[in-house]
Amino acid sequence: MTTPLDLQRIIEIDRFALPASFLFPDCDLEALRPHAAVLDPHHVDFAAGTILLGVQSMVLCHGGLNILIDTCVGGCKERPARPEWHQIAPRIYLDQLAAAGLRAEDIDIVLCTHLHADHVGWNTRLENGRWVPTFPNARYLISGIELDHWLTQEGIAPGKHNHGAFADSVQPVLEAGLVERVEDGADLGHGMTLLGLPGHSPGQVGLELQRQGAPDICFCGDGFHSLAQAYQPDWHSRFCADGARSSLTRRGLLDRSARDGLVIVPSHIRRDIGFTFDGAGPRLLQTL
Ligand SMILES: [Zn+2]
């Protein structure tokens, strides 16, 4: 029998509603109407025309390691262009981490699937007016492709990308020497490898976990932004760097799920933890 996974979710924002026409430009929400029984009310609000997301981290305790996957928007960050993200009270996140039985010092690995502002925020916290690493004993794993891309962008127009998240949430962990560059295929031991999931961002990586006697699991970041994309994998979000590439990445994950039962765990899925795909639609999972 497979041991249940020690996996907890740290929820920073639920729910985060974006107009479907904004998140998925040129896509017709009505195409999802036949699947309303699955999608509404937790993933799509048809009446309001919105896609409903959560902003959250996953904490995976596996192989003696406490692994934090993505670090949300962060506390006290200046994000005036997006009011839901601006100056979030820090206790919302840290209290949940404590309730999960973990101190910041206990986190061994922080995996930033990519460097968008809603995935790196708690990399740092404010201490005496300075941004310092929140998780002092962690290795922060960041794709080298992703890091180089945003370093280049920052060199061209400092602070103009991702709501300024690079300066307050990535640069401080770089300067502290806590960042470890990783790439597709990196072996973290204990059945865990990193999987390149390009498209949404240039160097996005997911965490793949192989378990004896159970299907593989892929924590895929924004490989899927919404459960809606399980029905419409060619819908790419406004925030995708390469929409066509992101579609290929999604289709690859869906194909694997239909073939081998791969469990797909997106960053922003609400209520349920993840899903498998049977060739026609998703089957939602509340535990793994
Ligand atoms: Zn995101």
pLDDT tens for each residue of 23-56: 999 899 999 999 999 999 999 999 999 999 999 9
Task: Compute the average pLDDT of residues 250-273.
Answer: 97
Indicate yes or no: pTM above 0.85: yes
Confidence at residue 39, expressed as pLDDT on a 0 to 100 scale: 97
> Could you tell me the distance, in angstroms and rounded to a whole number, from the CA of residue 170 to the centre of ligand 1?
16
Contact 74, 121 (CB under 8 A): yes
Output the CA 119–ligand 1 centroid distance in Å. Answer: 6
Band of residue 1 on the pLDDT scale cut at 50, 70, 90? low
Average model confidence (pLDDT) across the chain: 96
Over the range 74-109, which residues count as b (16 or more CB within 10 Å of their CB) and which as e?
bbebebeeeeebeebebeebbebbeeeebebebbbb
Query: Given this model, what pLDDT does residue 287 score?
Result: 87
Could you report the per-residue pLDDT of 204-257, keeping only the tens digit for each? 999 999 998 999 999 999 999 999 999 999 999 999 999 999 999 999 999 999
Q: What is the pLDDT of residue 3?
A: 74
Centre of ligand 1 from the C-alpha of residue 24, in Å? 14
Angstrom distances, CA of residue 286 to CA of 182, 259, 269: 30, 21, 11
> Which residues sit opposite 283 in a β-bridge?
276
DSSP E strands, 178-222: 179-182, 187-189, 192-196, 205-211, 214-221
Expressed in angstroms and rounded, the spacing between residue 1 Cα and the centre of ligand 1 is 34
- pLDDT by residue (tens digit) across 169-201? 999 999 999 999 999 999 999 999 999 999 999
Write the CATH number of the domain with boundaries 6-285: 3.60.15.10
Ligand 1 centre from 177 Cα, in Å?
Answer: 25
**All residues with CB under 5 Å from ion ligand 1:** 118, 222
